[in-house]
Amino acid sequence: MLYWLGLVLKSHIFLFNVLRYITFRALIAVIVSFLITLVLSPIFMRKVTALNRLYGGYVREDTPETHSKKKFVPSMGGLIIILSLELSSILLMRLDIAQTWIMAFTVFGFAIVGFIDDFVKLKNKKGISARSKMLGQIIVSFVSASLLYFVMHIDTHIYFPFFKSLKLDLGYFYIVFVMLILIATSNAVNLTDGLDGLAIVPAMTTAFALGIISYVAGNSILARYLEIHYVENAGELAIFGMAVVGAGLGFLWFNSFPAQMFMGDVGSLGLGAALGMLAIMSKQELTLIIAGGVFVVEALSVIIQVSVFKITKGKRVFKMAPIHHHFELNGTPEPKIVVRIWIISILLAIFTIATLKLR
C-alpha cells in the first residue's frame, strides 16, 4: 500500500520516494511488525489467561512430565504473529502483484485451521481430530497451489542449488508438489514448537535467509551476477521475510524462557505455510531444506521414531520424539537446548546465504 502511496506522492514530497525501494520497505516491515506484536501481545495474553483459567488449562500431549507447569500459560499467541504479518504485508508489499495476495491467503488459511484446533482444545483438551486437521490443510494448500498455477502461471520448473544447469519441469504435478511443501513445512514447524522459544527463532532465520535470496532472485542484475534463477517481483517477498523477523522478535519478547505465552497451532501452521510459500514463490523450493534444516531434523526424528517403533514392534530410537524432548530427558536444561538449536539455525541461515556465491 505504501509502495503505491510512494508512487503517487514521490513528485510532491521527497520523503515518499524512498518507499519505492524494497530495502527501505523491508526495514519498515521489521519495525512495524515488531511493534504490532510487542504492543498487542500483553493485551491478548490477559484475555487468553482468563479463558484458560475458566476452562482449566491445557498441557500439550506427548511431552515430559515437567511440562505440566506450563498448564496455564496462554496459547494462541500466533494470532498476533499472523495479524502482524498480514497487516505489515498489506501495508508494505506491492498490491498489484499476485504474490502478495496468494501469500496473504495461504498464511491466513493455514492459521485458521490451526486456530480451530486451538480453540476447540480450550474446552475439550483434545482439539479436532488429526484427520479433520489434515483435511483443512489439504483444502487450503490445494486452493493456494491452484492460484499459483492457474492465476499466477508460476514457473513449474524445479531448480537445483549447486547444479546450475539442472532443471526439472513438473507440469501439472507442480500443484501436488506445492501442496506437499506447504503441508510438510506447516506440520514440521508445529512439531518443533515444543519448548519455550524453540520454533520462532528458526522460523525467523529461515525467513531471513529466504528473504535475502528472494531479493537477489528478484533483481535481474544481482541474479545474473550470482547465476541464480531470476524471478520477476520476487524482491517483494523479501519484505514479507523481514516482517516474519520483526513479528518473531516481538513474539519472542514474551515467548522466551520462561514463556509467558505460546504461539499455538494458529502460529505454527501459519508460519510454516509462510516459509513454504516464500521458498515456492522465489523458486527456491530445495533451498528450504537447508535453510529450514532444524524443522527437517525435528520432523525426521518423529518419522524415524514412529517407523522404527512400528517395524521393531516397540523399540525406540529416541527417549522421546520430537528430538528436543530427547535432549530434555537426557538432562540438558530447556533454555540451553533451545539456544543451541537457535545457534544451529543461525549457522544454517548464514550457510544458505553464503551458497549464493558458491553455486
> Which residues would be at the binding site for its own copies (CB under 8 A)?
18, 21, 23-24, 26-27, 30-31, 34, 197, 245, 249, 252-253, 256-258, 333, 335-336, 339-340, 343, 346-347, 350-351, 354, 357-358
Residues 289 and 131: beta-carbon distance below 8 Å:
no
Q: Taking CA 349 as the corner, what is the angle to CA 166 and CA 32, rounded to the nearest 5 degrees?
A: 115
Beta carbon nearer to its own copies, 112 or 226: 226
Nearest distance, CB of residue 64 and its own copies, angstroms: 18
Beta carbon nearer to its own copies, 138 or 353: 353
Beta carbon nearer to its own copies, 289 or 347: 347
Nearest distance, CB of residue 138 and its own copies, angstroms: 36
Beta carbon nearer to its own copies, 34 or 174: 34
Q: What residue spans of 129-257 are helical by DSSP H?
A: 130-146, 173-192, 200-217, 220-225, 235-255
Residues 193 and 259: beta-carbon distance below 8 Å:
no
Residues 119 and 279: beta-carbon distance below 8 Å:
no
Nearest distance, CB of residue 340 and its own copies, angstroms: 6
Q: What does the alpha-carbon distance between residue 54 and residue 345 come to, in Å, rounded to a whole number?
A: 38
Q: What does the alpha-carbon distance between residue 359 and residue 352 come to, in Å, rounded to a whole number?
A: 10
Beta carbon nearer to its own copies, 32 or 145: 32
Beta carbon nearer to its own copies, 119 or 351: 351
Nearest distance, CB of residue 240 and its own copies, angstroms: 15
Cβ contacts of residue 260 below 8 Å, gap of 6+? 45, 73, 74, 254
Nearest distance, CB of residue 32 and its own copies, angstroms: 12
Nearest distance, CB of residue 120 and its own copies, angstroms: 31
Nearest distance, CB of residue 252 and its own copies, angstroms: 6
Beta carbon nearer to its own copies, 179 or 212: 212
Residue 227 neighbours by CB distance under 10 Å: 10
Element (H, E) at 158: strand 157-160
Element (H, E) at 165: strand 163-169
Beta carbon nearer to its own copies, 136 or 211: 211
Reading the block at residue 22, the C-alpha cell is 524494497
Of residues 54, 91, 42, 101, the one with CA closest to residue 233: 101
Nearest distance, CB of residue 258 and its own copies, angstroms: 6
Q: What does the alpha-carbon distance between residue 335 and residue 109 come to, in Å, rounded to a whole number?
A: 32
